[in-house]
Amino acid sequence: MGAMISKVSPMFSFGMMNVETGEIEEVSETFVKVVIEGVEKNYVAYVVLSEGKVVKLIDTTAALKKKVASKDEALREKLAAMVEKGELTQEQADEKLEAFQENTVQ
């Protein structure tokens, strides 16, 4: 199974630091920030449009998993409160949690 590309955002850069000298060099480049969502890994790539070249690739897998875990925990707490108030049965809460987990990247 392949990766899905989403959230393509234009970005502009008017200066870059020269790593050798530490000085800011004037440039005018158009970049795109591309979110790449794979089955097991997720990345954000910064691509120079004029060259079609990836200049920075960031693995966001761990951060995404942490965010999903946080949302999962928040949903569990909300559903537990709704069951306690009698707004949902435990079975309904379990179904909602299962639907969330099925539709979320783990």
Q: What is the pLDDT of residues 46-80, one digit of tens each?
A: 888 888 888 888 898 887 778 778 888 889 999 99
Report pLDDT for 83. Answer: 92
H or E element at residue 4: strand 4-17
Report pLDDT for 32. Answer: 85
Domain ranges of the chain: 4-59, 63-102
Q: What are phi and psi of 46, to 5 degrees?
A: -110, 120
Beta bridge partners of 32: 10, 47
Of 13 and 61, more confident: 61
Answering whether pTM is above 0.75, one says no
Q: Is the pLDDT of residue 27 over 80?
A: no
70-74: which pairs have CB atoms within 8 A and are 24 or more residues apart? Answer: 71/100, 71/104, 72/97, 72/100, 72/101, 72/104
